[in-house]
Structure 1
Amino acid sequence: MPHANTTGRGTLRLVLGDQLSDDLSALSDLDPARDVVLMAEVRDEATYVKHHKQKIALIFAAMRSFALRLERRGVTVRYVRIDDPDNTHSIVGELHRALDVQPFEEVAITECGEWRLAQALTAFAGVARVPVDIREDWRFICSHDRFRRWASGKSSLRMEFFYREMRREAGILMDGKAPEGGQWNYDAENRKKLTRGLRPPRRLRTAPDEVAQGAIADVARLFPDHFGGLEDFGWPTTAEQAEFVVADFLEYVLPSFGDWQDAMTPGEPWMWHGLISTSINLGLIDSMDICRRAEAVYRAGKAPLNAVEGFIRQILGWREFVRGVYWLKVPEYRARNFLDADRALPWFYWSGETDMACVADVVATSRDNAYAHHIQRLMVTGNLAMLLGVHPDAVDDWYMTVYADAYEWVEMPNTRGMATFADGGIVGSKPYAASRPISTG
């Protein structure tokens, strides 16, 4: 891919691997004649935990495809591949190196999703030779300021009440000022036991294109000791591919999602779940758009309310809520261990070698697909880790390693808060294995 245009000073615009959106704030005032977009595959991001091979391949392939998309629009992209001999293997290092190669008037960055990297970029802004503009990530529905206002003065944070405010503000599934159907939450209708003989629908998987095949080969060569296999890679790596998966889900799968979203059965990794979390978290899909499209399916009479509300709750409610909790509480949140858990993670979380059939099945599908649905993650692996007294650092590392859609802002409140109760009740009123709330005073 071509390197920087040297005809003008312009702006250096950083795009991270989970910021692959045309409407990214760092690109909002892009001038293709003068500006340069920097994208870099670096070992710091691929190895701070030993991410699943499919996750690394997914991000590299999606980044490469997004760079090509920009270039087709006439944008100059300074793209640093993982095997570039001059690669510094850190995002900050590549920013400095780009500034050494060419003078720029400023650097534009969209705020990143993880506290670790945010600290590094803030430090870079303090020493960079040009001004650094770190911009809000407006791809999320709830800004940091908006969440802080909601959380202010509350002794506990509960997703249900946050979710209701988001519904009101967005006007989604509303009947005037009241919730559609007369109630906010249809979770009680989302827990049906799987009917004998009922099989999940066939699912649309994405065959790797030429760009993805190249990324898969690079990961196999450069990260051979990382967890998981690459043989069954089937994740969308472009916005167009992601759209096919979204459309397929909305038409063929969403109508039954509400009934069976909490069901699990051996040998069925996908069930009725969306398989779009990787695409949303990369930026290939707009979260508000998918919520409105799901609502439109309901309004057209093609899916029942318990299905559509349950799906929208995961995005407009839970996804936005855990991001808000993460940024409200870090860095202190990362050290919470309310139950004083201190044991190592059992080896069977990696090997699947256990007589516990549900655990063995979840580990196998996680290894093969870099994916498990929320019941497998929370009720099986999360609950078990809490009951075993596994240190929350080890639980965090496992989830970050194993799943292709895991980024710390979404992973940590789910595992340290929801699954293991390590946060002492910030996210939930009790551990899932407990029969009633416990005192956190």
Structure 2
Amino acid sequence: MPQVWFGHGLLERLGHIVPRYVNGQVCVVADQHTEAIAHGVAEALAGCVGAVFIHPGRLKAAQAAVRQVQEAARASAGVVSVGSGCITDVARLAAFRSAKPLVAVATAASMDGYLSGHSPIIVSGYKLTHPARPPKAVVADLQVLAAAPARLTRAGFGDVIGKITALADWCLGHVMTDEYWCPAISKMVHAAVERCRQRARHEVSDLSRVVEEIMEALLITGQAMVYAGNSRPASGGEHHISHYWEMQALARGEEGCLHGEYVAVGTVLLAAVYRAVLEKEHLAPSAEVWRRRIDRLSDRQIRRKRLEAGYGEAAAEVEGETQDKDARNLGTLSHKEAEARWASVRGLLAEAVPEPRQLVDLLRAHGVAATPRELGITEEDTEKALLYARELRNRFGILDLAAAAGCLESVARTVARDCVRW
């Protein structure tokens, strides 16, 4: 587990912190947006800095950037990243491939991946998750976080709110497919999210006063992922929707929105899907209908056509990542067993997932976009995300259950149409 340094005045103490984890000089990695903080980091480290790599403009999580950081850090004993999402992801993979320790200096409470042992990197227009190694330590100075652009903090709040549906999807996946689930880890994340929500309710419209709670929730979620051995405690269908839109933006050559902005909107949409599916007492009218649906979802030729419609040129990459997911998740589950499992979890999910309007009000109260239209996403792209985002990962969630229940198309169409009025 990475050691977390979380508090005030930590930047000035880096000269004492970093040598605990790196025996020798370090390469400081940043981009144009975190350059000023990186210079402060270099000053605090004094004679411990062997190289400084500042990427011009905004660094993107691409293979080329990973190679550049590897080259810059070639003569260094370790890497110190200064940034948030993409910078940390790139530095993590570069340090891992170079067999060097990483210390991550957080510059914004914008995402939950600081403690992660994986790096999502863009390859041929598709974001692939590469195995790496968690940082030796994460340094989160509250003065630095509080000074971050407000948009980044709002994105972090959106990422925190996304844990609501992520935890629901994890529980659903456990009940329906016997996937590993840990109630203690789930409670740990839920408690951190609730602390953040409660503080946010008392600090209406001013998230700068909630930075500590936002970052705490993000760091606790990061620890939860390490404990679980995967990102299940943090990522469900709302993240798959986010990844789908990120891929669309990449394919169009657009900058796109921040990860947490997409996640916030994805959470609202997924909550709407939950409310629609929870109205169904039964998943299928008969065993024959259930089996026919699962067979159709599992048919490789039919799935290939779905992927081509949803992902275009990236369809082959997606297919390779999640081949036979429906057959693995539901192929051996009888109609009777599926109905019994759904009945056992339906009430719990109804309590766990708020009404979409509640989430919309909470997000908007703090200036966070809550609907696709606020991010410039069309009704068509909203419907496509709801239809095809589930294909991105092998995990089982409410979008997969909706597909098995034969209502995903109608629910996606209705939610995409109605969300403009929220």
TM-score by length of 2: 0.31
Name the structure where helix makes up a greater proportion of residues: 2
Between 1 and 2, higher relative CO (CA 8 Å, sep ≥ 6) is seen in 1
Higher strand share: 2
Compute the TM-score of the two structures, normalised by the length of structure 1: 0.30
